[in-house]
Structure 1
Amino acid sequence: MMKLTFPALVFPGAARALAFLLATWPASSDAQSSVTFYGVLDAGVTYVSNTGGASVVKFDDGVSYGNRWGIKGREDLGGGMAAVFALESGFRLGNGKLGFGGAQFGRQAYAGLSHPWGTVSFGNQLDMTQEMVSSYNISAWASGYAIHQGDLDRFNGDRMPHALKFLSNEFAGFKFGGMFSFGGIAGDFQRNSAYSFGAHYANGPFTVGAAYTQLNPPHGIYAFDPYAMLGTATFSGKPVISIDPASGTVTDLYASKPFPVERQATFGAGSSYQIGDVTLMGNFSLTTIHALDVSSQMTVLEGGALWQITPALSAIGGYQHSRFEGHHWNQGSLGLHYLLSKRTEMYVSGDYLKASAGVNAVTGYSFTPSSTASQANARLGVRHSF
């Protein structure tokens, strides 16, 4: 007999899905089965030096850790085989709204079969850039705002819908995987499809990973709004903003319609090495954007370190340098994280971004672009997991 007890939490639109799942789950089984309910809540106050020409102090959430609740399960089928599933929803604490374009289970939604060699799964799933290399984005461990510029390289931990995925178990420190996302467009097998593959190796204090991900093209929540992502006035040789000559007001031409990108391809690699209480970390990415018969490349180099000062207190710092279409960005990030318990953490963090002339700086893909080539932020936050 399997008994599940849940806290009295209500999430908008989720009650019927949860009730159905529990109602249809078998009450007893000869095989070993488990269902786990879990989540993360993150909220705090952020100061930004310049958003569209003025500073702001605001409530913000899901920054250092994305807000989520989820259910994952496993049923032993015998012979080393198991059925597995996960449903994970992202949301905003500030207003209770769903994230990921309003998808009920936008963070993850899959079912599959696990074997001693690995797991085959079907659904909305994390790509191999997330599985193998995004954890080396050391700046984002310091400050959740410090994703790579515009997240063009998908180091922020992105998903693929309608995907078939294989992820191996770890063998002597080595694991690998690949996946394909079906576009589902009649008469055009490639349109809206995507694929991703990668590998990771760990040996004592040393780890290294690499992955390649391609979207044909990026669409939905991953469609391009170049000015909001990068703060540049042009993209692939085409203007992406208009400026009122009288007032200087900037209008984003692709705020309500996606820029017509045809293909987005990223290779990323990262590595870490632990020396006592300090873990050194670095990564590199090369992203090719093909749009309007023009191919452009963004390169990102990043390095930093995590210092575990005490079991409860850690200091994290990172620096990243990005280049794209003749522009460049330099960003430094710092964070101090303190565990109040195994499940609750307080943190302070900050970022400073300096872009080249002619670029309105925007940190990650997080704020309204600055009216100048620099932007800074500071944050005080708390995270609780359950």
Structure 2
Amino acid sequence: MKYLPIAAVACAFAAPAAFCQTTVQIYGVVDTSLSYLTNVDAAGHSATKMNSLTGELPSRIGFRGTEDLGNGLQAFFVLENGLSLDTGMTGQGNRLFGRQAQVGLKGAWGTLTLGRQLNMTYIAPQKADVLGPSLFALGSIDPYLPNARSDNAIGYMGQFGPVVVGATYSLGRDASSAGGPAATNCAGEVAGNAQACRQYTGLIGYETKAWGVTTSYDRMHGNTGAAGGLTSSANTDTRTTLNGYAMLGAVKVGAGVIDRDTKAATGRTESDLYYLGASYPFGAFTVDGQWAKRVTKHADADVTMLAARLTYALSKRTYVYTGVGRMANDGTAAVPLDAGGSVGAGKTQNGFMAGLRHHF
């Protein structure tokens, strides 16, 4: 990580010198992997590929700046770009700073942010979901989870002892029409239609080093042309999560459930996604494992995932890892094991991956 002190000339004429400097941090993750997957199509073919969306963590480069305003108050900004190492292309629907683009204020009362930002559905499971945004993980079953960000948003986060609270409110949740879970063409801010592409999320939790539990709520509205069948502002997609973790010595155990209720132009779909995992560090190694199951109500489309991962730290910044997984699709389900991949409907997919990750 690099820090660049930048002279704030305007501030120098308006405030004491102690407050006339912004510190900018440049940081990032470069991570890519190779994978082998079975049953990538209806004919049952297999494929070997270099992955685009993620390996163990999604690749990124970011800029974070802070300025001390005095009396415990800070101004800050975050500009974070997502990229695909296999091609060098920009991620998150071709946005320049698709992962985060925000400015805010921070004090003892919490953090207030304006701009494109992570919402509470992204934040709530972070400590319970031991695999995170990995190639074989919950994001394969519900791609929104590792892409839960909101455009045009006002956000708040506060921690008061072990109690954490947060919320976001978006005037237009997604300004990109590039497609996929990170870009669903719902820019909002439509005159005469206050619900068009609005989104609100909320979180409350209790977290300590030994254990914690969080719950979150997320409702997004649609509008004309939006993806996912949300082609009217009356259409909604709602997720409610309950997540918990506990430390058993060095072992972290995490579990949760994500309830989803989609009222789209094509009809209503309801499902529950359950997950249970554990993580154990020993020496320079960390082993993670997770079971997950999505139960789709009123349809034969359940899926069950088993995934395990082993990571070895070559240094404090460089890691090698390998993982295996299995995704069993029932009936009409066609959920791939690898994020952004493909699988034949009703088929079971097995996979292996290995990769390299570096932080700077």
TM-score using structure 2 length: 0.85
Say whether 1:209 aligns with 2:214: yes
- Structure 1 gaps, min length 5: 6-21, 225-257
**1:261-280 per-position Cα deviation (integer Å, ceiling 9, x unaligned):** 72110001111111112111
Q: Which amino acid aligns with 1:211?
A: S
Offset from partner CA, 1:105-134 (integer Å, 9 cap, x none): 000000011121111110000001112224
Residues matched between the structures, number: 331
Contact 2:204–2:216 (8 Å) recurs in 1: yes
Compare the two structures and name the one with the higher helix fraction: 1
Q: Does residue 340 of structure 2 align to residue 366 of structure 1?
A: yes
State the alpha-carbon separation in 1 of the partners of residues 251 and 71 from structure 2: 42
User: Aligned to 2:121, what secondary structure does the other structure show?
Assistant: helix
Q: Does the alignment pair 1:81 with 2:86?
A: no
Q: Structure 2 vs 1, CA of residues 276 and 190 (structure 1 numbering), >3 Å: closer, same or farther?
A: same
In structure 2, distance between residues paired with 1:369 and 1:223? 21
Percentage identity across aligned positions?
Answer: 25
Distance across 2 between alignment mates of 1:362 and 1:112 = 38
For 1:4, give the aligned amino acid.
Answer: L
Instruction: Tell me, in whole angstroms, the C-alpha distance in 2 between the residues paired with 1:302 and 1:63.
Output: 20
Q: Is the 8 A contact 1:361 1:374 kept in 2?
A: no
Shift of 1:291: 1.2
Aligned-partner Cα distance in 2 for 1:265–1:333: 27
Distance 1:297 1:278 in 2: 33
**CA displacement at 1:337 relative to structure 2:** 0.6
- 1:304 — aligned with what? 277
Distance 1:37 1:88 in 2: 10
Alpha carbons of structure 1 residues 371 and 195: separation in structure 2 relative to 1, 3 Å: closer
Secondary structure at the aligned position of 1:136 is classed as coil
5+ long unaligned stretches in structure 2: 173-188
The alpha-carbon deviation at position 93 of structure 1 amounts to 1.0
Answering whether residue 197 of structure 2 is matched by residue 192 of structure 1, we say yes
- Distance in 2 (alpha carbons) for counterparts of 1:267 and 1:371: 27
Separation in 2, partners of 1:314, 1:35: 32
> 1:167-221 deviations in whole A, cap 9, x for unaligned?
11x222111111100031111111011010102221231111111111102899x
Of the three residues 343, 351, 354, the one matched with 1:377 is: 351
Contact 1:151 1:364 in 2 (8 A): no
Coordinate RMSD, CA, aligned: 2.5
Q: Does 1:341 align with 2:345?
A: no
| Rounded Cα–Cα distance in structure 2 between residues aligned with 1:200 and 1:158 | 18
> Which deviates more, 65-74 or 49-58?
49-58
Give the stretch that moved more between structures: 371-380 or 358-367: 358-367
Q: Is the 8 A contact 1:210 1:268 kept in 2?
A: yes
- Shift in Å at residue 308 of structure 1? 1.2
Alignment partner, residue 114 of structure 2: 122
Shift of 1:149: 5.2
Residues 218, 264 of structure 1: 8 Å contact kept = no
